[in-house]
């Protein structure tokens, strides 16, 4: 009995010790990691907005480019990133975060639309935990590239802006290729992306008409 | 309890005679996954050597206090702590590499080499030899990974450490970028090593 109690006590003690050490290391590096993640997000927003980033850029260059060409504004509970052309005045497009439950865990992405919000100009999924080689292919170029030019229009009555169909079976322009072997992930993307697009576009269309 | 061998012997054994990848065919998962780029290989190697050496050291220091029946639990906790520390440091200082390595840094936790050394050596030996053993086995693993990467990166991408070394117009071998490329390379290495240096005494201790 005493031995068992000691085992429990011992395990409790070393768990406490090691988790404290790990937490301390995490705390010390938190700012840096956060900065890196912000930088990564900015890079992705620039990419989906089709703003060219120099190959040999440093972190500071990127932040500068981002600050001159992209202005974040708050729309509803989401942040909308307004991208400007090189002159700094003409709007190049709008980018906004999308996301929802994937097959294994949450998927986060960014979608960019043209200034009139009539078509998609770029999309990226930057954080997910889908299966490598299957669901994780949502990050690949062939998958994201097929969204480019997808026409956006107001939808009603349970219809969707776009559908993911088994590869090669799509007939209409709004039927894109799903990922073979990753039906769960494809369905999840179809569901949350349609929902987010619909929600944000309704807001965006309103403000585009106003201006 | 067997006598603890000298540091030099431990080093030789870990590096060559009991090389984890070539001789014991352990740690294959990461060998296949990270060796298509030299940079990733080097970071992975540093991560594994650190985790392995520190885990062995810690397990050895605690060896006389850890109750036998919960030793695995304790070892896993120790290994996992070091791996998370490595992961945090890479995320903070080498974000691009962290992205490329993806889940593989975290998977050092399940690398059989680490737990294997803790169980087979560190649990029964004093701290210093255990630490040396960790470093030696880690370097043994690292050398094999580098040997694989030094072939895969030039053939698969035409570069080494990001610098172009193949002539213009060289067609990259796509197979070398993917896991089968590592299988072929590793198979060839294991074959050569076993052919020229057959192992006489298969089981040590």
| Predicted structure pTM score | 0.75
pLDDT, one tens digit per residue, over B97-126 is: 887 777 778 878 878 889 889 988 898 999
Optimal mutation site among A23, A29, A55, interface B, most CBs of chain B within 10 A: A29
Q: Are A162 and A176 in contact (CB under 8 A)?
A: yes
Instruction: Report the sign of the C-alpha dihedral through residues A43, A47, A52, A54, in that order.
Output: positive
Of residues B202 and A209, the one with the higher pLDDT is: A209
Contact state of A25 with B102 under an 8 Å Cβ cutoff: no
Contact state of A21 with B85 under an 8 Å Cβ cutoff: yes
Measured between CA atoms, how close is A144 to chain B, in angstroms? 19
Name chain B contacts of A6, Cβ cutoff 8 Å: 67
pLDDT at A137 over 90: no
- Closest C-alpha to B84, from A54, A27, A49, A137: A27
Which residues between 90 and 149 in chain B have a beta carbon less than 8 angstroms from any beta carbon of chain A? 91-93, 95, 99, 102-103
Contact state of A11 with B88 under an 8 Å Cβ cutoff: no
Predicted local confidence at residue B130, as pLDDT: 93
Helix/strand/coil for A149: coil
pLDDT at A211 over 60: no
What range does the domain containing B74 cover? 8-148
Of residues A166 and A133, the one with the higher pLDDT is: A166
Each as own residue / partner, the long-range contacts of residues A167-175 (CB below 8 Å, 24 or more positions apart, any chain) are A174/A150
Predicted local confidence at residue A57, as pLDDT: 65
Q: Are B15 and B69 in contact (CB under 8 A)?
A: no
* Alpha-carbon span B79 to B84, nearest angstrom: 9
Q: How many CB pairs under 8 A join A and B?
A: 53
CA–CA distances in Å: residue B93 to residues A34, A53, B104: 11, 22, 17
Kind of pairing between the strands at A120-127 and A163-165? unpaired
- Tracing tokens 């004093």 back to the chain, one arrives at B126
Q: Does some domain include residue B178?
A: no
- Closest C-alpha to B148, from B61, B50, B40: B40
Predicted local confidence at residue A132, as pLDDT: 67
b vs e for B169-181, b when ≥16 Cβ sit within 10 Å of the residue's Cβ?
eeeeeeebbeeeb
Q: Does some domain include residue B185?
A: no
* Alpha-carbon span A147 to A124, nearest angstrom: 10
Q: Are B82 and B50 in contact (CB under 8 A)?
A: yes
Predicted local confidence at residue A101, as pLDDT: 92
Angle at A34 between CA A67 and CA A189, to 5 degrees: 85
Measured between CA atoms, how close is B70 to chain A, in angstroms? 7
Kindly indicate the confidence band of residue B201, based on its pLDDT and cuts at 50, 70 and 90: low
% pLDDT > 70, chain B: 95
Task: Please give the helix or strand (H or E) that residue A31 lies within, else none.
Answer: helix A2-48
Q: Does some domain include residue B176?
A: no
DSSP state of A130: P
One-character DSSP codes across A182-196? -HHHHHHHHHHHHHH
**Mean pLDDT (whole number) for B157-186:** 82
Q: Does some domain include residue A8?
A: no
CA–CA distances in Å: residue B111 to residues A90, A131, B90, B134: 53, 20, 18, 13
Residue partners of A205: CB distance under 8 A and separation at least 6? A117, A154
pLDDT at B203 over 80: no
Name chain B contacts of A37, Cβ cutoff 8 Å: 95
Q: Does some domain include residue B174?
A: no
Contact state of A40 with B65 under an 8 Å Cβ cutoff: no
Nearest residue, CB atoms, B95 vs list A25, A40, A132: A40
Contact state of A18 with B78 under an 8 Å Cβ cutoff: yes
Number of domains in chain A: 1
Contact state of A25 with B88 under an 8 Å Cβ cutoff: yes
Predicted local confidence at residue B204, as pLDDT: 47
Contact state of B73 with A10 under an 8 Å Cβ cutoff: no
Q: Does some domain include residue A141?
A: yes
pLDDT, one tens digit per residue, over B62-96 is: 999 989 889 999 999 999 999 999 999 998 988 88
Kindly indicate the confidence band of residue B205, based on its pLDDT and cuts at 50, 70 and 90: very low
The per-residue pLDDT of chain B, averaged, comes to 85
Contact state of A14 with B88 under an 8 Å Cβ cutoff: no
Predicted local confidence at residue A20, as pLDDT: 96
* Alpha-carbon span A29 to B87, nearest angstrom: 11
pLDDT, one tens digit per residue, over B27-42 is: 887 788 788 888 888 8
Name chain A contacts of B90, Cβ cutoff 8 Å: none
Nearest residue, CB atoms, A29 vs list B67, B77, B92: B92
Instruction: Looking at chain B, list the stretches that DSSP marks H as alpha helix, in order from N- to C-terminal side.
Output: 7-12, 28-34, 38-61, 71-93, 95-101, 112-120, 127-157, 174-177, 179-196
Of residues A116 and B204, the one with the higher pLDDT is: A116
CA–CA distances in Å: residue B8 to residues B11, B38, B128: 5, 29, 12
pLDDT, one tens digit per residue, over B131-145 is: 999 999 999 999 999
What range does the domain containing A166 cover? 42-210
Q: Does some domain include residue B98?
A: yes
Q: Are B42 and B145 in contact (CB under 8 A)?
A: no
Predicted local confidence at residue A14, as pLDDT: 94
Q: Does some domain include residue B154?
A: no
pLDDT, one tens digit per residue, over B5-61 is: 788 888 888 888 888 888 888 888 778 878 888 888 888 899 999 999 999 999 999
Predicted local confidence at residue B58, as pLDDT: 94
Number of domains in chain B: 1
Q: Are B148 and B190 in contact (CB under 8 A)?
A: no
Measured between CA atoms, how close is A72 to chain B, in angstroms? 24
DSSP state of A77: T
- Closest C-alpha to A118, from A78, A89, A151, A86: A151
């Amino acid at each position: 009995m005493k031995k068992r109690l000691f085992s429990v006590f011992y395990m409790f003690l070393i768990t406490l010790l090691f988790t404290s050490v790990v937490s301390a290391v995490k705390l010390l590096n938190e700012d840096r990691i956060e900065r890196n993640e912000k930088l990564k997000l900015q890079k992705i927003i620039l990419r989906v907005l089709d703003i060219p980033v120099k190959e040999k850029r440093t972190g500071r260059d990127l932040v500068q480019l981002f600050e001159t060409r992209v202005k974040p504004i708050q729309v509803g509970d989401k942040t909308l990133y307004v991208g400007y052309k090189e002159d700094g005045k003409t709007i190049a497009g709008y980018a906004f975060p999308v996301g929802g439950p994937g097959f294994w865990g949450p998927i986060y992405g960014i979608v960019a639309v043209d200034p009139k919000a009539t078509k998609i100009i770029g999309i990226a999924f930057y954080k997910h935990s889908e299966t490598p080689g299957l669901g994780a292919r949502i990050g690949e170029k062939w998958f994201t590239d097929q969204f480019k030019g997808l026409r956006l229009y107001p939808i009603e009555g349970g219809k969707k802006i776009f559908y993911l169909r088994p590869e090669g079976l799509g007939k209409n322009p709004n039927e894109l290729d799903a990922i073979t072997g990753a039906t769960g992930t494809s369905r999840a993307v179809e569901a949350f992306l349609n929902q987010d697009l619909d929600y944000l576009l309704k807001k965006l269309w309103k403000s585009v008409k106003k201006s | 309890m067997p006598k603890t061998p000298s540091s030099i012997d431990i080093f030789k054994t870990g590096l060559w005679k009991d090389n984890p990848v070539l001789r014991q065919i352990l740690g294959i998962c990461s060998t296949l996954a990270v060796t298509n780029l030299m940079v990733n290989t080097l970071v992975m190697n540093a991560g594994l050597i650190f985790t392995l050496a520190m885990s062995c050291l810690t397990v050895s220091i605690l060896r006389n206090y850890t109750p036998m029946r919960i030793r695995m639990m304790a070892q896993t906790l120790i290994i996992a702590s070091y791996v998370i520390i490595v992961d945090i440091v890479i995320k903070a200082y080498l974000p691009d590499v962290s992205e490329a390595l993806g889940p593989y840094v975290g998977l050092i936790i399940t690398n059989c080499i680490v737990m294997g050394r803790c169980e087979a050596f560190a649990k029964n030996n004093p701290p210093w030899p255990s630490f040396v053993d960790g470093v030696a086995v880690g370097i043994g693993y690292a050398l094999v990974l580098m040997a694989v990467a030094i072939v895969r990166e030039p053939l698969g991408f035409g570069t080494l450490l990001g610098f172009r070394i193949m002539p213009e117009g060289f067609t990259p071998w796509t197979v070398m970028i993917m896991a089968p490329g590592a299988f072929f390379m590793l198979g060839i290495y294991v074959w050569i090593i076993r052919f020229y240096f057959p192992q006489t005494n298969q089981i040590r201790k």
